[in-house]
Amino acid sequence: MRITRGIASLTVAGLALAGLAACSSDDSDKDSSSILATDSAEETTEASDEPTEEPSEEATEDESEEATDEPSDDSGDAAASGDSPSWAVPTTTPGEKLATIEGTNFTVDVYQVATATASKTGQFVDPDTNLPLIAEGDEIVYVNYVFTNTGSEDIPLSYSLVSVSAEYADWPYLQGMDSIVDSAQFEEMGVTSSAIATGTGEEAPFVWAPGQTFSYGQNFKYQAGSPITFDATLTPADDAGELVHDERQEASVDATIS
């Protein structure tokens, strides 16, 4: 029988879970491709005693202008390009893909990036031993999440975007898994801790168009060969950027940390 225990929180001002910087708890809170098909028709002419009438230069220029003025069906199609939204940092995809979380209108590709040495202690301690769950020098693993809108409509998001939590099958505590905050190490891993770009001037709701992607990652203690579950929660926002809890959806996937 699995027994869960509580975790005492270390008193460290200003720290937040690294992988959840863009995705706090839900309470605080994908691919249309455009295919341009052109029908071709083969023209045949019959022999005639009468001379063929050559089109005038004026008519040719008019037809050319008409063709140029026609808008392209795939212009501005984010689904075809997989671009990141204007409010997001560029999507990164380092590491090896472990699994994909599939929601109703979105997916989350989960990548195991690499291991590293914890440069500082984590944020929680074991209440029985009073020792940190992640101590400086412990081996940690970085994972990266790539989010794609696979629906046919825009998804308005709050500052929580889409939250993802990871938990080993043998995790003994009630709280989520611990992590460290080290921006330099995140950069070294090619992973961003927050998907929302700074300096854009944009505010919630953040519009996530069909086919667009964004990414962020997190770290936690490394346990090679351990089964793990990744849970994703998407709660869309209204016009004011507030969460619409009635439309909340959750999805998960099981994987193994290698």
Residue at 78 is within a domain: no
Does the pLDDT value for residue 73 go beyond 80?
no
Nearest of 121, 122, 120, 126 to residue 8 by alpha carbon: 126
Residue 218 makes CB contacts below 8 A (sequence gap 6+) with 17, 18, 19, 20, 142, 143, 145, 164, 166, 179, 193
Alpha-carbon distance of 88 to 206, in angstroms, equals: 9
The number of distinct structural domains making up the chain is: 1
Report the CATH number that the domain containing residue 199 is assigned in CATH: 2.60.40
Does the pLDDT value for residue 219 go beyond 90?
yes
- Confidence band, pLDDT 50/70/90 cuts, at residue 175: confident
Residue at 167 is within a domain: yes
Structural domain of 101: 94-255
User: Tell me, what amino acid is at 2?
Assistant: R
Nearest of 58, 126, 114 to residue 257 by alpha carbon: 114
For residues 33-47, average pLDDT: 38
pLDDT at 67: 41
Does the pLDDT value for residue 84 go beyond 70?
yes
Residue at 22 is within a domain: no
pLDDT at 204: 97
Residue at 128 is within a domain: yes
Residue at 9 is within a domain: no
Other beta carbons within 10 Å of 231: 16
pLDDT digits (tens, 9 = 90+) for 24-37: 334 434 343 333 33
Does the pLDDT value for residue 20 go beyond 50?
no
Residue at 107 is within a domain: yes
